[in-house]
Structure 1
Amino acid sequence: MAYTEFIPNAGACLATTNVTSRRGRVRWMVREDSQDPVDNGWRIMSHIDDEAYLSSEGCWEIVDYNDVCALEPALIEMWSLPVGSDLQLVDDEGGIRILDTATGQQVIPATGGVAATPDEDPHEIAKREDAIASETCTAMSGIPDWTLALTSITFTDGTAPAGRCLLYGAGDQEPDVEPWFATGTLPALPFIREVGLPAKLTDDLARHRGSMPDRNGRLWTTMQYAVQRDGQFYFFACRYR
């Protein structure tokens, strides 16, 4: 995955290997006193981490905070919160929110909720998604053996979009992509290769994004979509923050 600097001089943090490997989705975040000049104090844990795992040898990894933000863009906004912060990430019908663990009070977004769906005619959205799915299949058509493309792209102010496409060989079986959408868990399928997104596809995704603000006027930050090679199946999901 290409490096993107969401936050200048963000420093390093500790994240569990379940987070960095995408086996689990980011869920718990605690900020402790820094142990080193480059340590920003954040400790990032996944939804599947338990006490036994957290106390096991090798479960923690030192990572650039920007790399963790690439996995979960909601972490960008919490970076400046003070030492002692004890937070959890919630993703439900109300959208993605970061809550104070002790009180349940919403911390990010700071005010109000975030609409989980765009304020636009769903038929118009579906037409653009159909075109993007077809364009994705065409862009990857020269690569042999893949049958499933898992694509994600993140937009942040002031930086270039960060996009990636993971190609898998699903054969004739019906792929289960729900765990990837829900927690970032990659499918147990033969991995073909990772490719970047062509410039035209990135531009079309940017235009798609600009056409679908939520009812509060916000644009989505991250979109994931899965496409079968023949284009007969595709599914899109976007996150507003």
Structure 2
Amino acid sequence: MGGARMRELGVQSWRLAVVAQVLGVAACVMVLVWCIHFRGGLAFVATNKSLIFNIHPVLMVIGFIFLGSEAILAYRVLPGTKQQRKVVHSTLHLIAFVLGIVGMYAAFKYHNESGIANLYSLHSWLGLGTIILFSIQWKLWFVAFWFPGAPEGLRAASLPWHVLFGSIVYVLALATAVLGFLEKLTFLEVAGLAKYGPEAFLVNFTAIVVLLFGVFVLLSIITSTTPSPVNGFEYSPLAESQ
């Protein structure tokens, strides 16, 4: 119902996708400026352990959030055959997952080498849970839509649930990212960072841009009219079938 209503109002999916792309690129640039210009750069091995941590937000935003969003948009709004969209969708998700794992490793490495406890905050709990749910989602997608022995009926029936579960995981990833920016900025301000300084404003605006990016990605999916047949079965988006 929601997607059909928005199309009646003249909202076109490709326009929303363009806005999402602009916001996504802006978020990537902003997190790089923060970690390189304000925080001193990136390194897996360094005496300044903060450089190790800087890898975490960069890979989680550019790798997990941005590439994961590109994977979602590719399947719904990218021109081409179903098979081509499916390959791009799966490949980008796999790359996003790998980069997300490396990003989480950087956070654990920073904590361990700095004598900081692991998994004590809501951000870390949601982050670990999101990665686990994402891995389950990708494995189920692979079995249902790539495994040759999967029944055709299973593929048709599971696709709406794949979209729903994937959307939930995506929202969790966005919430985790925003909490991460809030948590890090709070630590920095407690340590003496100016609350109204340029770095504080940059971090806050980066979080807002990431959130808006996710909103426009979801809106572009809801308004998309791209057909998604699965071996002869036509799939109707869950948002429109309710």
Task: Looking at secondary structure, tell me which structure has more helix per residue.
Answer: 2
TM score, norm. by length of structure 1? 0.23
TM score, norm. by length of structure 2? 0.23
Q: Which structure has the greater CA radius of gyration?
A: 2
